[in-house]
Every structure is written in C-alpha cells, then in structure tokens.
Structure 1
Amino acid sequence: MDIKIYVCHHKEGLIARNQYFEPIQVGRAISNHVLDGMIGDDTGDNISHKNREWCELTGLYWIWKNTNHDYVGLNHYRRYLNFAGGDRNSTLYIEKKVDITQYLSAGIEETCRQNPIVLSPLVNVHPTSSPGNTMTVYNHYCYNHYKKDLDIALSVIKNKAPEYYEFMIISMNLEMSVFGNIFVMRRDLFNEYCSFLFSVLFSVEEVLDTTHYDDYQKRVYGFLAERFLYAFVLKHKLLEKSNNIIHAGLIIYTDFEPEYNYKQIMAQISSRSVRKVAHPHAEDVHIVVSFDDGYIKQALVSIYSVIKNTSDASRLRFHVLHDEKLSPVTRDFLCNKFKEVKFDFYAIEDDYIFTVYPHNREHINRNTYYRLFMHECLPQSVKRLIYMDLDTLVCDDIITLWNMDMDGKTLAGCNDEGGVSQSRRLFGLNWNKSYINAGVLLFNREQAVRKYKNLRFLYLESFLKNMKNLTLQDQDIINIAYKDDIKILPLRWNVGSRVYSSSELEAAYPKSVAAAAVHNPALIHFTGENKPWKPDAAHPMTELYLAYQAKAFAYQTPQTQSVESVA
C-alpha cells in the first residue's frame, strides 16, 4: 500500500521519516530559514505564501495538488496519530527526544486497510484547563475567535456547498469534535475533502477582512478548517452508515526539557553573598503569608530563605493570616526562632464565603483564599505589601522586590507558566498577556481600596460572573478582578515548576526569558504537586531546597526548640 503521512514543520524539531512518514516545511515561501532534510510546500501548485493565515493548510494544499498516494494524511511535528490499537482515542505525552517512527508504523497498513478515514481522538469541547465547562463547537469557536468569521463560513457552505450544510450545523451543535487537522484518508475521500475545504475557504477569503486581527486571530482559516473536518466525516458516517471510521490515539511531543546544568546553577545560588546594610530609619517591608501547624516545616524554610538573603532583616515584618489550626505554641516558636524579624498574627474568622468559593483541587485548602482578605486584616498603616506562598525559596534580596516601581498599577506579579492559555480560558476573545501567578504578589493595598472600594464585593463578583471557566481558584479571581491593572514583574521573581520542564500550556514569555530566570532565579516557586520535600521529588532544584531546609531547621538561638518538637 502507498501510504504517506506528511508531518508539518515550521521550525526546528524532531524529524520523523520512514516509508510512511514524510516531513514537510510549511510556509517555506515566507520563511527566513529553510529547514534542512525535508521538502517544502513552495513548489508546484502551492499557496505557501498564505501560511501565516492558513497554517498547516498550505501543506495540505500542496499534498492535494502535487501527490497521488493511495492513502494520505497530515500530522504535526509534535503531534502524531498513534496506530497502536490499544491506545485508540487516547493521548500520550512524551517529553524525551526519542524516535517513535517504527512504533507508529507498526499497525498503519492494517488500520488503513480496514478504515478509509482515521482521525485524532474525539474529545469534549471546553475552554483550556476547564474540562467541566463543556460547550458546543459553535459556542467554543465564538468564545475563542470572531463569531462573524464562522457565520460567514456557514453562509458560504449553505449557498455554495449545500450538500455539506446539514452536517456542518449538526457538528456545530455537538459538544465533542476533533482538533488539529490531523487525519489519514483514502485518496478519493481525501480529494473530496480538500475540494470541499478549499473551495469554501477561498470563498470566505474573498469577503473576510483580517487587517486588524492580531497574529493569533489571523490564523482564522486553520481554525475554521478544524471545524470543517468533523462535519465532512459526519456526512460519510451518517449517509453511508459507515462504522469503519476510527479515532486513533494521539502521541504528543511536549517541548523538551532544556538541558540546564542544575548542579552549577545551584552552586552559584548557594555561593551568593548578601551585604548586610543597616537602615535604622527605613520603612518596614510587609510580607503576608498563610500557613498552619501542618505546614510549619515549609514555612520555616521559606521564611529562613527570605531572612538569609535580605540585606536588612530588621526591616522585615511578616503578617501571618491563619485560623485555629495554627496553634499558640507554633506562633511562639516562630517568633523565638527568628527574633531578628517581626511577626504579626491575624485570625481569619469562619465565613460562609469559604463554602461559596470552589475547592476543586485536592492539594489546595481554605488558606489559599486568605489572600483575598488581607486588605481587611492588616492595619491601615500597611499601604503596600508582598504576598508570598510558602512553597517557595527566596534566593535574592526581597527588598529589591519591595522597591520595584509598579507603574501606577494596583497589583504586580510574574507571568504564569501557562498564562496565555489561562487568559484565553478566562477571557476568550478579550484575553491578554497579563495573567499572573498569584503565589508572589506586590500589592498596593491603599490604591486598591481607594480605586475599587469594597474588595470583598470585587472578588465575589469576579468569581460569580466567570465561575464556569474558573479552575485555578483564587488565582483566577485575582486575575479577573485586576485584569487591566496588573504590572508584570521579571520572571526571576516567581520561577514556577513548569519553567524547568515541558508544558502543553502556552506561556506569555519567550524561552530566552525562561532560561534567564532558571539561571538566575530570585524566587523559586515549587508549583504543582512535585514538591521538593516529598520522598519522590523530581524537581531539578530539590537539592538546593533540602540544603536550605537543613539550615533552616538548624537555625536557632539557645531559647529555640527544635522544629521536630512542634511539627
């Protein structure tokens, strides 16, 4: 059988090639760099120059017009159909640079012989990271892209390809579909699909004005094509009552973990020296934290790291938000252990609001919402503050963070590791690049109260108006509340776990910024469940954390108890 699956590339990546797989550079006509070792979509009959708007479809068009295989398909350089029968309709993520071509090829001939159409997994339609909020294909498109574009396409189909219209509107009202324009088809079906697809899109292109679209929305033709594919499949499935159309599994190569020299990075961090400078008349640096007796060991490490790396620890004032699970014994222990800094404790009363806000992640407890009440607890004299989670390790002088200019914004923080994806989930078409991680915040409390009045109302409204798409609890609420009032801080002040590894989520910062933060972190945030104090910890900075932990536990005056006696 002559089966050829073309693998689209637009940048450097792992190349899969054998008798079935053929890499192709899409958009080569407008690329500044020719990728070696593969064909381009800029020869013969082609639309390569349209790639910025048409994405992988420029490759698909080239395949349609310039090849004649018995079976033909499209994969991406990071996404491959998996022909292993036991993995059907499932997705497997791979983080290593391994050649899986032979594995992928093992069942391909038998699968194609029995199935004239092989698709990627059929999945529920929902915003990114919000699987509970299923929606129709139509509503999902309108949430993420411009509604008028889809309506124009539907009108074109209704008038110029009416034989597909019923199946198009049926598919638009389903809550599941296929994505990525990934498939393999028998040649006659492939020709039929391409004839339908490109005739419609060329007609849409004649009337669609994308002049003012950003780079993401300009990819409109690729986005539309994703929705056309399943409508085409439904036509054959329903009219022909065909059961030999299958959903194969999908193998996704994530962005490979960078090859950093972590030993060297940790050694450089450990060797940093802080010049102790006395500032007898300098203002207090207000740091808000929250923990209970069950988290005292982690709190000690984080607080110790702040003190160790601060030029003037006498300026540090920790404001601890807590409930009854933080005992008086633990509070006294903390004050005695770190006598060079000041501690204030604020009991958070039981409030019905904690039953209203969601608790949808097992490793998150009620304390995470206490940061939404810090403006109410602290005295009026505290006009500016730093909020800090305690799964953190501070590696630089926190007074540097305290002194940062907020450029008139009420809130400042670092871009979240998946900030673009999370912003699109929350805001749809109105997303921006200011979705921050709420684990480290610089907060102008005085301005917030003056500008927004009742912050309790602000947070509750932000939650209730967006609750269907809210999955990251207080972090989502904060980003909604201050959406256009956030200053982005250098990433080194909140280096989360995904910065060190791969992720399907899209970050707002380039890889060069991530690499600089990894090499020179000011604050390492052990986000997610891969915590360095766990026995099976795999975080690359675990060794540094454990070194700080040992020093923090040993750091005591003659009056201080050992940590084991209270933990």
Structure 2
Amino acid sequence: MTSKIHVALCFDTNFWAPAYAVMRSICLSTSRRKELVFHLLHMPLTAEQRTDLEGIVGEFGSELAFYPLGEMDSFGDFVAGLPRSGRWPSVVYARLMLPDLLPQTVERVIYLDCDTLVRAPIEQLYAADLGGQPLGAVQEALSPFIPLRRDMRENADIFDGAEPYFNSGVLVIDLAQWRTLDMKAQIGALEASRVLSRLYFDQDMLNLIFRERWQALSWRWNTIDAHQAHEALNPAILHFTQASKPWHLTAGILHSTAYARWYRHVMTNKLFYRFAAHRRRRWLRRLLRLER
C-alpha cells in the first residue's frame, strides 16, 4: 500500500491559475502523481476556475480536496483583527489553520505559496528529516532586513537579528505537533503584547511562535527571489518573491525571472493568456475604483 503525499495551497480568486501551475509543476516533477493529495484552502471560486483546477485530476490522477474558507465561520473568527493589505489579504493566514482544517489522519503536509514552481520530486521534501521539530523551512534570504525592518533596528525589541529567521513560503509541517498548540491563543498573546500590528503578517508570527523550534532545510527547496542566474544551480523549488512574477508577459524579456518560458508552458498557454486577460480586467476595475 502506497502512502499519500499531502500538499496545501491557500489562495483567492485572483490566484487560481498560479495555484494550478504549482500543482502541475509538482505532478510533472514526480512519478508518484496518483499519491498526491492537494488541499486547496480558497476563497470563492467561479465554476470555470474550479474546473481549471480539477484538470489536475483528469491529467494526472491526483486527488483534490477543496476548503471554501468564505463559508467557514471559524476562518472569519480566526482572521478578525489580523493585519492585512491589498497585497496580503486574509487568506494568507489560512496556513495557520491547517492543523484544524485538514483531516486528523493527515500527520504531515507541505505548504507552498502560489508564487512557487517545483522542479524536483516533491516526495524528497515530504520525507525531510525535521529533527524532531514541528516545522521545516528555509532561512530567509533577506534576513535580518525583513524582521528588523527600517535600518534593521525598527523591531529590534521583538527579533534578534543574529537569530535564524525562515521564509514561510515553503513549509514542511508536522501536524501532530502543531495540533498540540493553540494557534489562536498564540496569536492572542502577540496581540496582548502589542506587537501584532508591527509584524510582517503571518511570516513574522510563525517565526515568533516557532522560535528555536524549526529545522533548517536546504536553500534548494525554497530558492528565494528566483532570477535566471539561479537556473545554473538546479533549484528544487523556485520562489518568485520579486515584483516580477513568471505569469507577467514580460517576465523573461524585460526582467530576469527564472524559468519564465518554462512556467508559461507549465500553466499551459491557454490558461496563461486567460489569466493575463483576468489580470488586465482587474487592473481596469481598480483604475475605475470598482474594485479594491
């Protein structure tokens, strides 16, 4: 009997196509496609967007599990009062609820941001030795700038710049250990200490909650700020944290975004250009102030 490989993504209606590309890149990079279970924590999707995502099942035989966050009172209660912005909507906090939302039989899960691209067998990451820790992650390339903020001293009373600080875009999570934590209470403690509004969203929260309780993974599993120069290093997971994303039409021409052409074909030309049209319509609605 083969074991399942569990992967979680969190996204809203504006990131359904990148979520599809992440899943398809995983399936193209492993021979264990039928053992994959994708847990999709999402805000409301259109029927067409859901059909796009379900294409993974038809092409590869993987399993999808949908979690409609907008219909869950528990999610609304959890994110109420947490910092957010246009770039960082409330759905980013869904990863903090994975221990509660995923079936209790799931003991380990890989979480991936939707601006990642997988190029190596995901089962290698899934089997990573966490050294008894509840979390595996890659050290943030921009530390200590991100935790300490302006002049690397703004949050010096919260973080120690000499301490390792991880990027939360790729996580290997021991759910059994996470379930022993009361995440809501942990965040409540941060709020009570009056530091919550000063944090860099969920990434800072996770670094504080799991301070000295995470296992460092190889940079190959989260190649941050992925540029074309990284292609020579054979990265396992690319993380497009820069402003230019691989789904931008000029990513591989005007910008040095790694594997831009490769990415377009992973998303498929049909969906790539339909997603581009979606983004143009959204830009126009924002310009006309019809959408925030």
Tell me which of 407, 425, 444 is aligned to 2:174: 444
Shift of 1:371: 0.8
- State whether structure 2 residue 241 is matched by structure 1 residue 540: no
The answer as to whether partners of 1:297 and 1:563 remain within 8 angstroms in 2 is: no
Q: What does 1:204-243 align with in structure 2 at a 5 Å threshold?
A: none
Deviations 1:479-501, CA, capped at 9 Å, x for gaps: 1110110111101111111x659
Partners of 1:354 and 1:374 in 2: CA distance: 14
Change (3 A) 1:551 1:371: closer
Shift of 1:438: 0.5
SS at match of 2:120: coil
Partners of 2:23 and 2:134 in 1: CA distance: 25
Shift of 1:442: 0.4
Partner of 1:530: 244
Tell me the amino acid that sits aligned with residue 49 of structure 2. Answer: T
Change (3 A) 1:421 1:304: same
Deviations 1:416-475, CA, capped at 9 Å, x for gaps: 12123334536557444321111000011101222x2x12211332355322531x2011
Tell me which of 490, 496, 520 is aligned to 2:218: 490
Could you tell which deviates more after superposition, 286-295 or 314-323? Answer: 286-295
Q: What does 1:424-443 align with in structure 2 at a 5 Å threshold?
A: 424=148, 425=155, 430-443=160-173
Tell me the amino acid that sits aligned with residue 359 of structure 1. Answer: R
Partners of 1:464 and 1:475 in 2: CA distance: 18
Tell me the amino acid that sits aligned with residue 477 of structure 1. Answer: M
Partners of 2:41 and 2:241 in 1: CA distance: 20
The answer as to whether partners of 2:40 and 2:65 remain within 8 angstroms in 1 is: yes
Shift of 1:553: 1.9
Shift of 1:554: 5.8
- State whether structure 2 residue 61 is matched by structure 1 residue 346: no
The answer as to whether partners of 2:20 and 2:52 remain within 8 angstroms in 1 is: no
Partner of 2:23: 303
Shift of 1:293: 3.0
Partners of 1:413 and 1:310 in 2: CA distance: 21
Change (3 A) 1:468 1:367: closer
SS at match of 1:344: strand
Tell me which of 336, 356, 380 is aligned to 2:104: 380
**Ranges in structure 2 where 5+ consecutive residues have no aligned partner:** 149-154, 279-292
Shift of 1:532: 2.1
Tell me which of 27, 32, 48 is aligned to 1:312: 32
Tell me the amino acid that sits aligned with residue 525 of structure 1. Answer: H
Partner of 1:397: 121
Partner of 1:365: 89
Partners of 1:438 and 1:563 in 2: CA distance: 29
Shift of 1:314: 1.1
Could you tell which deviates more after superposition, 436-445 or 291-300? Answer: 291-300
Shift of 1:290: 1.5
Partner of 1:327: 46
Partner of 2:206: 478
Tell me which of 190, 203, 224 is aligned to 1:462: 190
CA-based RMSD: 2.9
SS at match of 1:319: strand
Partners of 2:231 and 2:164 in 1: CA distance: 18
Deviations 1:281-337, CA, capped at 9 Å, x for gaps: 2211110002233222212221111110013111110000012x2234432432234
Partners of 1:455 and 1:518 in 2: CA distance: 40
Change (3 A) 1:517 1:487: farther
Partners of 1:286 and 1:545 in 2: CA distance: 27
SS at match of 1:439: strand
Task: Identify which of structures 1 and 2 has the higher relative contact order when contacts are C-alpha pairs closer than 8 Å and 6+ apart.
Answer: 2
Deviations 1:342-388, CA, capped at 9 Å, x for gaps: 0001122251443411124x322221111111111111001111000
Change (3 A) 1:518 1:476: farther
SS at match of 1:441: strand
The answer as to whether partners of 1:495 and 1:524 remain within 8 angstroms in 2 is: yes
Partners of 1:374 and 1:426 in 2: CA distance: 30
Shift of 1:517: 8.5
Tell me the amino acid that sits aligned with residue 401 of structure 1. Answer: L
| TM-score between both structures, scaled by the size of structure 1 | 0.43
Q: What does 1:180-191 align with in structure 2 at a 5 Å threshold?
A: none
Shift of 1:393: 0.8
Change (3 A) 1:356 1:282: same
The answer as to whether partners of 1:532 and 1:539 remain within 8 angstroms in 2 is: no
Change (3 A) 1:468 1:385: same
Change (3 A) 1:540 1:460: farther
The answer as to whether partners of 1:413 and 1:487 remain within 8 angstroms in 2 is: yes
| TM-score between both structures, scaled by the size of structure 2 | 0.79
Percent identity, aligned pairs only, is 26
Tell me which of 420, 425, 428 is aligned to 2:144: 420
The answer as to whether partners of 1:322 and 1:347 remain within 8 angstroms in 2 is: yes
Partner of 1:550: 265
The answer as to whether partners of 2:245 and 2:257 remain within 8 angstroms in 1 is: no
Deviations 1:494-531, CA, capped at 9 Å, x for gaps: 1111x659xxxxxxxxxxxxx88961200110013221
The answer as to whether partners of 1:289 and 1:389 remain within 8 angstroms in 2 is: yes
